[in-house]
Amino acid sequence: MKEKVGYPWTTLPDFMFEHAAQGYAGHGTLCGVLGVCSCLVNLVVYDKEHAYAAIIDRMMWWYSEMEFPTERFDDISKSPKQVKAKAVTPLCHTSVSKWTLAAGAQVTSNEKYERCAKVAGEVVYTVVHYLNEYFEGRWKPAKWTPSKEITHCIECHGPESYQRYTNGLNHQQGHMECLACHTDHMTASLKK
């Protein structure tokens, strides 16, 4: 972008996003590449209609369901054909911890750094693909809908409670899979 477009990309320092590694300074919050891509999606799409939202939301739930790392970069990797594990949420914490356990690797191992580099590459690849579709007018925003396991959670807790239950609370924010962290407190009879 610096070479082909120039301003404002020429104003961005090379190490601007270095802090995002390891879920932001090792805190294991949002997977860093998702944070960086979110920022870049907004910068690239930059419009008042908030077109960034559908692209970023789609990226987050795609990521959560992905089995990482993919084999796309195996040709240039010191650790090809690595064990794969589902990220579960957009959080560095689940994405990395599920993988280290599945692979029998430590978080400070070279294998883990390779794995995370491949995750970063795959996310960038996919987001660039979305953005090309967007600028070619082929992007159809996919609307998030809850999985069947959490549809009833959303109906009461939100976001955008469908108010199927009269006591819809609509006080929860987010599109993550609730059952990754919470148990289902509802009795079987109330579920449909």
Tell me which residues touch ligand HEC (CB under 6 A).
89, 91, 150, 152-157, 165, 167, 169, 172, 174, 176-182, 184-186, 190
Q: Please tell me the distance from the alpha carbon of residue 86 to that of residue 177, in angstroms, as a whole number.
A: 13
C-alpha distances in angstroms, 2 versus 35, 43, 135?
A: 20, 13, 18
> Which of residues 56 and 92 has its CB atom nearest to ligand HEC in the complex?
92
> Which of residues 72 and 182 has its CB atom nearest to ligand HEC in the complex?
182
User: What's the min distance (Å) between Cβ of 150 and ligand HEC?
Assistant: 6
User: What's the min distance (Å) between Cβ of 151 and ligand HEC?
Assistant: 9
Q: Please tell me the distance from the alpha carbon of residue 107 to that of residue 147, in angstroms, as a whole number.
A: 30
> Which of residues 93 and 124 has its CB atom nearest to ligand HEC in the complex?
93
Residue matched to tokens 């590694």: 21
Smallest CA-to-CA distance from 123 within 33, 43, 53, 40 is with 33
User: What's the min distance (Å) between Cβ of 44 and ligand HEC?
Assistant: 28
User: What's the min distance (Å) between Cβ of 156 and ligand HEC?
Assistant: 3
> Which of residues 5 and 169 has its CB atom nearest to ligand HEC in the complex?
169
Q: Please tell me the distance from the alpha carbon of residue 85 to that of residue 88, in angstroms, as a whole number.
A: 9
